Structure 1
Amino acid sequence: MMSGSASAADMAVKALKAPPAPAFDPWDIAFGAAIMNDYVFRGITQSNHKPSVAAYFEPRFNVNKDLQFYVGVAGESISFPNRAAAEIDVYGGIRPTFGAFAFDIGVWGYLYPGGTCQFGGTGFDASGRFQGAECAANALANGNTMKKDVSFFEVYGKMNYTVNDNWTFGVTEFYTPSFLNSGAWGNYASVTGKYTAPSTVFGSSGVGMYVSGEFGRQWFGTTDSFYGTAAFPNGIKYADYNTWNIGVGFTYKVFTLDLRYSDTDLSKGNCNAFTGDFTAGGTTSVTPINPTGLGSKWCGATGIAKLSVDLTAMTNLK
């Protein structure tokens, strides 16, 4: 028996083949939707402090783990003085990563279809065509003005630095030659910060938490004559302003609940001159660019509650 048997140590061992590495698929799609009590953009409500819904669709091409190209389309419900139907965003860019530094460089177009012309300035558009009849028919009760077409685009750059699993800091820069098609150039820069709590904060529930904030400044040039006043017939220099926000967010799987405080240092008068707020009233908020004295609450402190869902095809639809 001993001569006819082999011990385990003497038996030949057959090597197991390693499983093949999964094929690299460079394509992915991110998409999602949100509902919020107020759509605020750089400290200023875009929805007249009313609820808004949003959605986006973003195809992506990953050259490798450190380089991504993307395009996207998004939409938000708004409430503008020119009665535009919605905000439609079309954008694209590149996202390179170098170690702890992540960059995002691209172009963003803001489209506002369905607008009607509001009478204002000289009554002529940028092409010199008289708009009196159309504008007068759609005039706002408080006398404010806004062009029929306020679509515009921005070029932008963002950089985030990841310190560790908990801390991320960033800077942003956006520039447009004509903000809201007003003729005034716009430049926005900000600094951002985010703290992501350890996953153990809520035990094994799967709930995550973060705290984030931003401080930014918006600079402007001078508008064209459509927004001119008696003192500035060729256009007004929009007031530059600071804006800031801070909030806390809770995540669960693909869902995020973000609760945020937002504010600016724009006066009610300068806010009215910039927004053309159809709800503005009063006569005491006089500034050099706001001779009517109308005051707007669209640029003041507000609280924002936003519930969103975000998915990617490679992660969530496999």
Structure 2
Amino acid sequence: MSSRTNARNTAIAPAALALAFALSANAPAHAGASGSVSLSSDYVFRGVSQTNQEPALQGGIEYASDSGFYVGAWGSNVSWLSDTVVVGDDISSSLELDAYAGYRGKAGERFAYDVGALYYGYPGDYPGGFNSPNTAELYLGATVTPTDTLSLGLKASYALTDLFGYADSDGSAYLDASLNWTFQPTWTLNLHGGKQWIENNEAFEYTDWKVGVTKAFDHGFSIAAAYADTDAEQALYTNAHGNDIAGDAFTLTLSKAF
């Protein structure tokens, strides 16, 4: 997920939410329980490092019914909140725990849609008066698969609460466009572009993009390499350690699906 020096994530205007579509990258192929665990060289969310450009261990589990309804949970180590200070223990938060639920459906053979709600939780200790980073979002999306090897997606997320600690930022939004092309068996090209809007915090808004490739192996293993960047204002995204967490980033991720 995307972080800031003193806040977090992004979004898109309410009117756009009703028109937006999204790629459901984690949609299971069949009903039942599924999950994954991964180790990444950096946790980059919406173009911004959540771990001060350090490794992240992540995992999640989901249950989907035959009707299309699903529920899941996901977690990762993070440091973007505690990285707002170098010395002292005013902020103690090293974990992100997310919960989500929604419905996935299809209209014909080539069009799928997904609608749901997602809650980002950051347990920890915070100083008095600190605006809570916990965030609730609604999302709406769809994918189109023109061929068996190509998928195109759009996804819109809309914040029901203040967005990752930004003051008076409820109503913020994020729009995500994705392309995934399996150009050779087990090899997939991954492209992404996104735009973050933050209500009453326009200086922190930005556009992000990513290009990567994923190699799939037997038994649910995969490895992904990606390069990401943003046009975020460097001074606003430089943390207390002097790192530009919204700058260009190259990541390697090893995953196991089950």
Instruction: Please say whether Structure 1 and Structure 2 have the same fold, judged by a TM-score greater than 0.5.
Output: yes
Alignment of 1:1-318 (within 5 A): 27-63=31-67, 68-79=68-79, 80-81=81-82, 82-99=91-108, 100-117=110-127, 125=129, 147=130, 149-177=132-160, 178-182=162-166, 183-185=168-170, 186-199=172-185, 208-222=186-200, 236-253=201-218, 254-272=220-238, 277-280=239-242, 296-311=243-258
CA shift at 1:245, angstroms?
0.2
In the alignment, the residues of structure 2 paired with residue 278 and residue 71 of structure 1 have an alpha-carbon distance, to the nearest angstrom, of: 37
Segment drifting more, 256-265 vs 175-184 = 175-184
With a CA cutoff of 8 Å and minimum separation of 6, indicate the structure with the bigger relative contact order: 2
Alignment partner of 2:174: what SS?
A: strand
1:52 alignment partner AA: A
1:219-242 Cα shifts (integer Å, max 9, x gaps)? 1112xxxxxxxxxxxxx5442210
Structure 2 residue matching 1:62: 3-state secondary structure: coil
Larger radius of gyration: 1
Report what 2:4 is aligned to. Answer: none
C-alpha distance in 1 between matches for 2:57 and 2:184 = 30
Equivalent pair of 1:115/1:148 in contact (CA under 8 Å): no
CA distance in 1, matches of 2:257, 2:38: 9
Corresponding letter in the other structure for 2:197: W
Q: Is the CA contact (8 Å cut-off) linking 1:115 and 1:149 kept in structure 2?
A: no
Local SS of the residue matching 1:47: coil
- How many residue pairs get aligned? The number is 215
One-letter amino acid of the structure 2 residue matched with residue 239 of structure 1: F
SS in 2 for 1:150: coil
* In 1, Cα distance between equivalents of 2:212 and 2:92: 31
Following superposition, the deviation at residue 271 of structure 1 comes to: 1.9
Amino acid at match of 1:42: R
> What TM-score does the superposition give when structure 1 sets the normalisation length?
0.65
The aligned amino acid for 2:158 is Y
> SS in structure 2 opposite 1:172?
strand
CA distance in structure 2 between the partners assigned to 1:115 and 1:303 by the alignment: 31
Following superposition, the deviation at residue 62 of structure 1 comes to: 1.1
Within 1, Cα distance between the matches of 2:31 and 2:188? 29
Q: CA separation in 1, counterparts of 2:33 and 2:173?
A: 30
By percentage of residues, which structure has more strand? 2
User: 1:270, CA displacement in angstroms?
Assistant: 2.5
Q: Which amino acid counterpart does residue 233 of structure 2 have in structure 1?
A: S
1:256, CA displacement in angstroms?
1.1
In the alignment, residue 152 of structure 2 is paired with which amino acid? F
Identity of aligned residues (%): 25
Q: Which amino acid aligns with 2:204?
A: A
Compute the TM-score of the two structures, normalised by the length of structure 2. 0.79
d(CA) in 2 for partners of 1:197, 1:219: 33
CA spacing shift, 1:263–1:148, aligned 2, 3 Å: same
Question: Unaligned 5+ residue runs, structure 1?
Answer: 1-25, 118-123, 126-146, 200-207, 223-235, 281-295, 312-318
Indicate conservation of the 8 Å contact 1:212/1:247, yes or no. Answer: yes
